[in-house]
């Protein structure tokens, strides 16, 4: 952003020995002009460690403004590391600014400096004090760094201010989006911690850069410097959004399922405490830092929104990229992390007719599957477990159904704040569309069976032959059992076997193919022996 303005020569200082540019930074066209500026000399790179004062002084020589944005990974709860960079490193930055006669220092702080890890923050402003106890070592040391920068304002003509960008996201992010994708691929993002209504302020990275520039301009102007110098400012997109809705939009945009199962904080917090205690006991033996900790649970379930009025009034800051556009640009930049396209229709679904029956057996509609399983359990209880005759059992089931429908019809539409969904006659009516779908499912299943028979008649598909033999063997075993035993074993087997087959379809097919090729080898070797004889 500084380079695009055409007013600045920029020196980038970082820990790496050399600067590795992303493709979008290397060109200049519609992307970042950094690559072109490095070639022309308008930008330079200096390798420096903040913990080494001499290296910092060398990096700052001749600079008019310093933007101090360096910090360790906030997810690593290592107090010694954070203190050495966020506190000792910041002391070195301040001392180097004074020694090199730098005029302005803008420090990138964090909203975490006012978060105690327990109480949520809703529309918090800069009058909020630092908490007595911080959520983690990152927040604590960032707060100490912020205090040092504000205290340094006015020393030898140095003007300072701090900005607190909230939950940064955007292209180039190596923490938020990649960690969400990693969790989604591992199946760990099916759950919502809490009620899912906690609000957050996320800030697009370009708005964060704009906030830095606004802070520098405010310090550079005599008129605004009086107010801005020695102050801290929250920088946000000024568009609070539900935390889990933001996560869902990112995941859906990259082709993953949004979280849907809500887990109360009261349920998961004891588990998080147990994990934390275990880590404290075993960390010395090399146990990795766990993801499930009490502080993280609070972060995922608390409100964290901040008032940007002070930054707007004193720095002239307003977001230049909306949350919607920021999300769109972010998702487009992570095309390499998109979910691999799944097969539209699995073989298991085709074998089951690819209709409602397939959805139920394959757990596509979990509510429907659980309802069917409960009904089957009720049927089993009345038909077998109670010892009734078939007619008696059927009559009792119909009586219970009639009683349920009668009582349900008497209930009001709302009880204790909960809506009661009334059953309508249309719920039991089979529409022409549903009838067509049912007929299509039946005909599709029949055609699948016919297709299997045709393939078997050709005598070439050994993998299919083995699958059919296996299915018939299972059917034969179930057929030899009593109806009660078949019901007990067959129903769970159907709901489990087809689900497992769809989940690991390729692997199971590969095993059958391997078995078929092995049988073919045996067949050919036997044929060779017979031919020789």
Structure confidence by residue, pLDDT tens digits, 429-448: 666 766 776 676 677 667 76
Specify the higher pLDDT residue, 226 or 384: 226
Q: Is the pLDDT of residue 344 over 60?
A: no
Q: Which of 142, 328, 396, 529 is catalytic?
A: 142
Confidence of residue 426 (pLDDT cuts 50, 70, 90): low
Given pLDDT bands bounded at 50, 70 and 90, which one contains residue 452?
Answer: confident
315-319, 366-370, 512-516: least confidently modelled range? 512-516
Residue whose structure tokens are 């569309």 = 433
pLDDT value for 276: 78
- Closest to 191 (Cα-Cα) out of 121, 268, 273: 268
How far is the C-alpha of 190 from the C-alpha of 207, rounded, in Å? Answer: 30
142 part of the active site: yes
Mean pLDDT over residues 24-31, rounded?
A: 58
pLDDT at 531 over 60: no
Q: What is the pLDDT of residues 269-303, one digit of tens each?
A: 888 888 878 877 776 666 666 777 787 888 889 99
Return the pLDDT at 533.
Answer: 59
The answer to whether 181 touches 334, Cβ cutoff 8 Å, is yes
Task: Name the strand (E) or helix (H) holding 415.
Answer: strand 414-415
Average pLDDT (297-317) is 94
Whether pLDDT at 108 is above 80:
yes
Instruction: Say yes or no to pLDDT of 464 above 60.
Output: yes
Percent of the chain with pLDDT over 90: 41
First CA to last CA distance, the chain: 85
Q: Which fold has domain 48-337?
A: Rossmann fold (3.40.50)
Q: CA-to-CA distance for 117 and 126, rounded, in angstroms? A: 18
Segment 176-214, tens digit of pLDDT: 899 899 888 877 788 899 999 999 999 999 999 999 999
Cα-based distances in Å from 44 to 12, 26, 35, 187: 6, 14, 10, 43
The contacts of residue 527 (CB under 8 Å, 6+ apart) are none
pLDDT at 288: 66
Q: Provide mean pLDDT across the span 495-508.
A: 76
The model's pLDDT over 142-158, given as tens digits with 9 standing for 90+, comes to 999 999 999 999 999 99
Highest mean pLDDT, choosing among 17-21, 69-73, 165-169, 407-411: 165-169
**How much is the pLDDT for 90?**
97
The answer on pLDDT for 466 being more than 70 is: yes
The structural domains of the chain, with segments of one domain joined by +, span: 48-337, 347-387+424-532
pLDDT for residue 450 is more than 70: yes
Among 97-101, 292-296, 389-393, the least confident range: 389-393
Question: Where would I find the beta strands (DSSP E) of 69-128?
Answer: 104-108, 121-124
Residue with token string 């060779």: 528
Q: What average pLDDT does the segment 242-259 reach?
A: 93
Query: Both tokens of residue 382?
Result: 């009345």
Is 199:305 a contact under the CB 8 Å cutoff?
yes
512: Cβ–Cβ under 8 A, 6 or more apart, which residues? 463, 466, 467
How high is the pLDDT of residue 439? 73
Q: What is the pLDDT of residue 409?
A: 76
Q: Is a pLDDT exceeding 80 seen at residue 493?
A: no
At residue 424, the pLDDT reads 66
b/e code 255-292 from CB counts within 10 Å (16+ = b): ebebbeeebebeebeeebeebbeebeeeeeeeeeeeeb
Side-chain-side CA neighbours of residue 399 (13 Å): 7
Comparing 443 with 41, which gets the higher pLDDT? 41
């Amino acid at each position: 952003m500084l380079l695009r303005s055409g007013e600045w020569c920029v020196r980038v200082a970082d820990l790496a020995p050399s600067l590795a540019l992303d493709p979008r930074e290397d060109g200049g066209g519609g992307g970042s002009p950094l690559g072109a500026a490095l070639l022309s000399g308008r930008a330079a790179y200096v390798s420096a460690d903040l913990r080494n004062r001499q290296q910092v002084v060398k990096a700052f020589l001749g600079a008019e403004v310093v933007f101090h944005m360096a910090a360790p990974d906030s997810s690593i709860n290592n107090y010694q590391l954070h203190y050495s960079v966020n506190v000792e490193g910041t002391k070195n930055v301040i001392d180097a600014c004074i020694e090199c006669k730098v005029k302005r220092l803008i420090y990138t702080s964090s909203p975490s400096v006012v978060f105690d890890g327990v109480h949520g923050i809703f529309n918090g402003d800069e009058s909020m004090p630092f908490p007595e106890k911080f959520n983690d070592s990152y927040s604590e040391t960032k707060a100490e760094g912020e205090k040092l920068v504000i205290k340094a304002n006015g020393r030898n003509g140095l003007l300072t201010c701090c900005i607190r960008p909230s939950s940064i996201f955007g292209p180039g992010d190596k923490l938020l989006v990649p960690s969400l994708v990693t969790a989604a691929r591992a199946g760990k993002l099916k759950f919502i911690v809490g009620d899912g209504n906690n609000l957050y302020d996320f800030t697009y990275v370009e708005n964060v850069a704009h906030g830095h520039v606004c802070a520098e301009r405010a310090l550079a102007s005599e008129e605004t410097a009086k107010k801005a110098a020695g102050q801290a400012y929250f920088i946000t997109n000024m568009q609070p959004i539900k935390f889990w809705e933001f996560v869902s939009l990112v995941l859906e945009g990259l082709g993953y399922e949004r979280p849907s199962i809500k887990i109360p904080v009261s349920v998961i917090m004891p588990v998080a405490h147990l994990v934390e205690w275990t880590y404290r006991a075993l960390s010395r033996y090399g146990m990795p830092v766990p993801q499930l900790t009490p502080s993280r649970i609070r972060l995922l379930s608390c409100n964290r929104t901040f008032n940007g009025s002070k930054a707007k009034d004193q720095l002239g800051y307003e977001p230049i990229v909306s949350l919607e556009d920021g999300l769109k640009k972010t998702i487009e930049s992570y095309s390499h992390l998109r979910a691999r396209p799944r097969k539209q229709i699995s073989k298991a679904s085709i074998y089951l007719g690819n209709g409602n029956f397939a959805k139920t057996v394959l757990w596509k509609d979990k509510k429907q599957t659980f309802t069917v399983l409960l009904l089957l359990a009720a049927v089993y209880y009345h038909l077998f477990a109670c010892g009734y005759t078939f007619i008696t059992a059927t009559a009792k089931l119909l009586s219970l159904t009639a009683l349920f429908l009668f009582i349900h019809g008497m209930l009001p539409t709302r009880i204790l704040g909960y809506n009661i969904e009334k059953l309508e006659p249309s719920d039991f009516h089979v529409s022409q569309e549903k009838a067509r779908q049912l007929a299509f499912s039946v005909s599709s299943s029949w055609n699948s069976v016919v297709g299997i028979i045709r393939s078997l008649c050709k005598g070439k598909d050994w993998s299919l032959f083995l699958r059919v033999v296996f299915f018939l063997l299972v059917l034969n075993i179930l057929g030899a059992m009593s109806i009660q035993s078949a019901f007990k074993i067959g129903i769970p087997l159907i709901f489990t076997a087809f689900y497992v087959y769809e989940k690991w379809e390729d692997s199971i097919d590969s095993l059958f193919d391997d078995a078929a090729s092995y049988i073919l080898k045996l067949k050919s070797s036997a044929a060779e022996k017979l031919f020789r004889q």
